Structure 1
């Protein structure tokens, strides 16, 4: 039978220890026990590293409460179940406050023991699973903010500084596709980890995706009878985000009367449901994102200037991809590896230097989102080992190749033969496409039939 875990029994009643030990061993647990010597039992337990200790409160030589406190101090991961008699329930409750995970009251039967032990091991399993998932979560978001350009290092520095404490509001600005929600989630995680609340809620709301009347009821909630369809009361998202973060995406699209209510939330730290009279206190970090020029909108009266000043107390500007070109290839490589694993395309192992050059030269108006989509499509559609220039969309390869050629080619003083130049370019294209004439034609922005004609015309082998 598979070992389900290690349990240490500490009780001076040898009969109880024997009964519990037999029961738990039959369930597949490894059981250690001590019935006589308790002065150094904490050191023994810490060295043996059981997952669970079943500990009697009343022991000769020492107190079970003292042992509990020392175990919690030296090895807080060990879960302690206290065993007490009927007249010491209050003491058991005290032990729970000191860190015991559960307690058993004497006399108890084997079914009670099994149930309590199973529940504690389930809690341990869930705790370990959450810890593992949180590690993956942290790694995922740390890896998503990719690059070593000056711009991205400055961004990381801003995130670290702001995340030192939980601030009431943060404005995140940047063009569409730069990763504003990613930065918001990273800020949320770091703030709550440092504040000791790693499981705090994070709720994202797209202000431009919801009708205006629905946005208000979603954010603030409503009381029963507040309007025709309000048959029951409903909590708003601000209430659900209490002790955590709410992200208001595209805040520039919010109508001005809602902007006024949002300003009140930020200043008063309370919300009032639609149709309600009570102010409900909340502790929420309000993060807002926009790709609009909010200062300009405020100047034109399209956005409340007082709300802008309130939101802009802490702000982060995400640079567009074209302003951090050194990060383009590392980001593309990240998504190549990510999608190759996701779509099980194990053949596609790298991006060629020529393709990387074209990616860097392109301006990426859709920023990281556009680059991600391009790489995802290539991974799905192509079967080669290397991403080549011919695999890139023509909108990228044509525009950037033209830019690169314009930047590099200088007509020599003695002139040049156009036929020789054309032949040389065709040979280069075929070499870069590793002999694949379809890709070579794409590189040259000509049809496959035209390429075949030129190969025949110039007598090019292959």
Structure 2
């Protein structure tokens, strides 16, 4: 997913903080801002790729917004960006990353980039496995000469090879074991 096609939703009840995060990201992404939980859920749709979500907000808390996002089955990455120090309660929460305020521009931008890389890897890996499965089914049912004689099979093999290289390139971009595991959790 290229950054210019990606949408980030910044949710923080402190307008100055939300606006600062939006400013930091606006050159690379389409950015939406919401200043309360209910407003965030109103503007959230399938076009949002990453949500930066404060936990402690009046009205609907970030925890409740996160729960609603997951109940709606919206396919986006959620990063909790909060002053709330993590405790064991986070084990049951469905977020993808957790940043404790104050957050630097570099940390925020790097985290958004990592979340988008996970999305890319997950989608391409699913497509790769789908094509490999189709190839295996054909190879189990057809003799090798018949397969080699068809343009569709040769294209399938070529597509698998290109996608395999793309998946390996994206995997190399994942910074650490946690990013790699995060990408597989998305599957």
Q: TM-score, normalised by structure 2?
A: 0.72
**Preserved CA contact (<8 Å) 2:46 2:74:** no
Counterpart CA distance in 2 for 1:82 and 1:340 is 45
**Preserved CA contact (<8 Å) 1:82 1:95:** no
Equivalent residue runs for 1:307-322 within 5 Å:
none
The match for 2:113 is 118
**Preserved CA contact (<8 Å) 1:6 1:50:** yes
Q: 1:120 to 1:41 in 2, by over 3 A?
A: same
The match for 1:227 is none
Please report how far the alpha carbon of residue 96 of structure 1 lies from its aligned counterpart in structure 2 after TM superposition.
5.4
Counterpart CA distance in 2 for 1:110 and 1:81 is 15
Equivalent residue runs for 1:143-222 within 5 Å:
143-146=138-141
Counterpart CA distance in 2 for 1:340 and 1:65 is 49
The match for 1:336 is 149
Counterpart CA distance in 2 for 1:64 and 1:10 is 8
Counterpart CA distance in 2 for 1:48 and 1:2 is 16
The match for 2:175 is none
The match for 2:20 is 19
Which one has a bigger Cα radius of gyration?
1
Structure with the higher fraction of residues in helix conformation: 2
**Preserved CA contact (<8 Å) 2:9 2:33:** yes
The match for 2:132 is 137
The match for 2:65 is 67
Counterpart CA distance in 1 for 2:106 and 2:128 is 33
Unaligned runs of 5+ in 2: 156-187
**Relative contact order (alpha carbons < 8 A, sep ≥ 6): 1 or 2 greater?**
2
**Preserved CA contact (<8 Å) 1:65 1:95:** no
Counterpart CA distance in 2 for 1:15 and 1:339 is 56
Please report how far the alpha carbon of residue 48 of structure 1 lies from its aligned counterpart in structure 2 after TM superposition.
4.8
The 3-state SS of whatever aligns with 2:85 is helix
**Preserved CA contact (<8 Å) 1:6 1:29:** yes
The 3-state SS of whatever aligns with 2:21 is helix
Unaligned runs of 5+ in 1: 148-327, 343-462
**Preserved CA contact (<8 Å) 2:46 2:75:** no
The 3-state SS of whatever aligns with 1:59 is coil
